Amino acid sequence: MDLRFRGAQPSDEERAAVDDLLGPPATAWEGGSRTDTDLRMAARAEAARDLLLPALHAINDRVGWISEGALEYICRRLTIPPAEAYGVATFYSLFSMEPRPRRVLHVCTDLACQAKGAQAVRDRVEQRFGPAGQDWHESPCLGLCERAPAALALEAGQPHRAEVYAPATPDTITTITGAAPGTNGHAPSVNVAGETPVKDAVPQAGRPDLVLLRRIGVVDPASLDDYRAAGGYTALRRAFELGPAGVIREVLESGLVGRGGAAFPTGRKWEATARQPDHPHYLVCNADESEPGTFKDRVVMEGDPYALVEAMTIAAYATGCAKGYLYIRGEYPRAVARLQHAIATARSRGLLGDDILGKGLSFDIELRRGAGAYICGEETAIFNSIEGRRGEPRSKPPFPVEKGLFGKPTVVNNVETLVNVLPILERGAQAYAAAEPKLFCVSGAVERPGVYELTFGTTLRELLDMTGTTGTTRAVLLGGAAGAFVTDLDIPLTFQGTRDAGATLGSGVVLVIDDTVDMKRMLLRIAEFFRDESCGQCVPCRVGTVRQEEALHRLSRRVDDSDLVLLREVGQTMRDASICGLGQTAWNAVESAIDRLGVFNR
């Protein structure tokens, strides 16, 4: 691909996919037919680069891959150099720049699935369809860990389709058919088949003492009336009573911190953004939960989508944001469908848009799908992705509250953080803080995997007593691939309690490992994951993740002290010098397995 156009032409289907998104081109300068007016005057190109990712999705969803002609047509429509668009399109794993079948199977081979037999599924698929790369791909975590092992089939068309296999067995997914799937009836853009009721992912569903999960399995997630009858929009009305400053004060007094892993005080972030004189302000909901073993945000979005819409509206009101972006994983088709429906319904009922509830608040939400990039869970990488650039992290400072999306003050919170705002306003900061809820994603060698809601301070042992364990528990991975293995089950599940134990609460991953799991293979999978997901921007991470994997391959064959020394040096360098959390945490789980589990002891 060149800096200049090479004259490749899109097919009629590709052109239609882009025009359906952007509208027909107005002039030849945007890819339309040339007229006498175009020959006399060049139209001024308006900035529209932020539509690049949706345009790439439009082609990929309709055709299954992105041809050179299709990419050039997108570039003409958006006035983007072809080389830059090519760099973006090749950054994401769900896009292909080479011809491939319309139906592609993604087989999860990540941690939770590996611990539950994904290797047998993978081997059978390879036997049936040949090497990975065309009909099927090995996939990082699909966020279906409570039903591991899992697979996801994506089929291009109009509309495009998604079919979930979870739990997957060698027999159930090796017959890929074109049979029409059932639909969930909630979104015109995608049909979703193979999904089980979302309440099945919540073993506690229906319990009256739940806070964040109280509506899941109880109300119809597609019905705004059901949501309101179950207490929905009470928090927003309370927010209007308090005023923006009052809402921020309640969030500050509640002690709420971010639930994506960094644990930064949410009220301080909101306060700092609200004070910025530069406008407009933007709100970004980070729903790109790609940490292996994490699926709580998916469950909330599928089972209680209006709660997220309401929480985003409150956050926007408090911080002065007129526009919100909900950035969601491309591997979550049912969550996308549910949120598209919820946003459209809320807008039609006056709960989004201009003058919400007659209170003078103008706020709307635009949903943006990711396309398979773990690094886009980093807050500044999301900005680049939304803006139509490669999803690479930015150096800080400046921080997002000063210069974030489109260079403007921006609030970034993940799904769980935002929905916690609702009980804070409904119950009051003090009552909330007295029994602060936290969601945990439990998978692996347990009898009842799923999302669990506990109050902070519950021990790991108490949680596992609720879930039940199978086999002989060897270790528990807390925090996902970026977390650490622990053997002490009496660790209190708080941010400080896990830090004191040399681990992290992270995004709430609790992956139970029994004695049937090959730990060397698991560590290799973690290393492969970070190698694949590194954006390559900084040397410590780009080189370090490769060297880490190479050393682990050698150690899995023969233990050599020099490789252990090298592994520690590489890990420490990544931790100290990487630009973002991916490289800084890529060594954590490996280090804990060596030190606590003695994986490479002679």
- The predicted-structure confidence for 63-90, as pLDDT tens digits, reads as follows 999 999 999 999 999 989 999 999 999 9
Neighbours of 305 (CB within 10 A): 25
What gap in Å lies between CA 384 and CA 381, rounded to an integer? 5
**Quick check: bond before 181 cis, omega within 30?**
no
Provide the token pair at 256.
């709420």
Chain position carrying tokens 């059901």: 226
CA dihedral (435, 287, 377, 295) in degrees, to 10, reads 70
Lowest-pLDDT range of 43-47, 64-68, 315-319, 591-595: 43-47
Q: Is the pLDDT score of 401 beyond 60?
A: yes
- Tally the C-alpha atoms within 13 A of residue 433's C-alpha that lie toward its C-beta: 11
Provide the token pair at 239.
């927010």
Q: 543: exposed, middle or buried (C-beta count within 10 Å: 0-12, 13-18, 19+)?
A: middle
The identity of residue 385, as a single letter, is S
- Residue 204's pLDDT band, with cuts at 50, 70 and 90, is very high
**Quick check: bond before 398 cis, omega within 30?**
yes
**Quick check: bond before 167 cis, omega within 30?**
yes
CB 392 within 8 A of CB 381: yes
- Residue 183's pLDDT band, with cuts at 50, 70 and 90, is very low
What gap in Å lies between CA 537 and CA 532, rounded to an integer? 13
Task: Give residue 1's pLDDT.
Answer: 52
- Residue 177's pLDDT band, with cuts at 50, 70 and 90, is very low
CB 531 within 8 A of CB 556: no
What gap in Å lies between CA 420 and CA 213, rounded to an integer? 11
Query: Which residues, 6+ apart, have CB-to-CB distance to 548 below 8 Å?
Result: 527, 530, 531, 567, 570, 571, 574, 586, 587, 590
Select from 269, 243, 575, 227 the least CA-distant residue to 413: 269
Provide the token pair at 452.
């669990």
Task: Give residue 176's pLDDT.
Answer: 47
Q: What is the SS3 assignment for 18?
A: helix
Task: Give residue 39's pLDDT.
Answer: 55
Pairing of strands 103-108, 151-155: antiparallel
What gap in Å lies between CA 170 and CA 172, rounded to an integer? 6
What gap in Å lies between CA 506 and CA 559, rounded to an integer? 31
The whole model's pTM is what? 0.93
Task: Give residue 36's pLDDT.
Answer: 60
Q: What is the SS3 assignment for 413?
A: strand
Task: Give residue 35's pLDDT.
Answer: 63
Q: Is the pLDDT score of 175 beyond 60?
A: no
Task: Give residue 3's pLDDT.
Answer: 63
Give the chain's mean pLDDT.
Answer: 91
Find the mean pLDDT for residues 242-264: 94
Give the chain's length.
Answer: 602
Find the mean pLDDT for residues 347-369: 96
Three-state secondary structure string covering 172-230: CCCCCCCCCCCCCCCCCCEEEECCCCHHHHCCCCCCCCCCCCCCCCCCCCCCHHHHHHC
Q: Is the pLDDT score of 602 beyond 70?
A: no
Find the mean pLDDT for residues 102-110: 94
CB 322 within 8 A of CB 203: no
- Residue 34's pLDDT band, with cuts at 50, 70 and 90, is low
Q: What is the SS3 assignment for 103?
A: strand
- Residue 182's pLDDT band, with cuts at 50, 70 and 90, is very low
Q: Is the pLDDT score of 26 beyond 90?
A: no
| Structure confidence by residue, pLDDT tens digits, 551-589 | 999 999 998 899 999 999 999 999 999 999 999 999 999
CB 477 within 8 A of CB 291: no
Q: Is the pLDDT score of 261 beyond 90?
A: no
Percent of the chain with pLDDT over 70: 93
What gap in Å lies between CA 225 and CA 563, rounded to an integer? 61
Q: How far apart are the first and last CA of the chain?
A: 51
Find the mean pLDDT for residues 49-60: 96
Q: What is the CA radius of gyration of the chain?
A: 24
Q: 205 or 173: whose pLDDT is higher? A: 205
Q: Is the pLDDT score of 33 beyond 90?
A: no
Give kind and range of the element (H or E) at residue 559: none
| Structure confidence by residue, pLDDT tens digits, 292-349 | 999 999 999 999 999 999 999 999 999 999 999 999 999 999 999 999 999 999 999 9
User: 112 φ, ψ to 5°?
Assistant: -65, -40
Query: Which residues, 6+ apart, have CB-to-CB distance to 478 below 8 Å?
Result: 460, 484, 485, 486, 491, 498, 503, 504, 505, 506, 509, 510
Task: Give residue 28's pLDDT.
Answer: 66
> Does the CA dihedral 401-403-409-410 come out positive or negative?
negative
Q: Is the pLDDT score of 193 beyond 80?
A: no
Provide the token pair at 330.
């491309």
Neighbours of 597 (CB within 10 A): 17
What gap in Å lies between CA 331 and CA 295, rounded to an integer? 11
Alpha carbon of residue 435 to chain centroid: 27
Give the C-alpha distances (Å, rounded to integers) separating 200 from 144, 147, 303.
12, 10, 10
- Residue 178's pLDDT band, with cuts at 50, 70 and 90, is very low
Q: Is the pLDDT score of 229 beyond 70?
A: yes
Task: Give residue 256's pLDDT.
Answer: 97
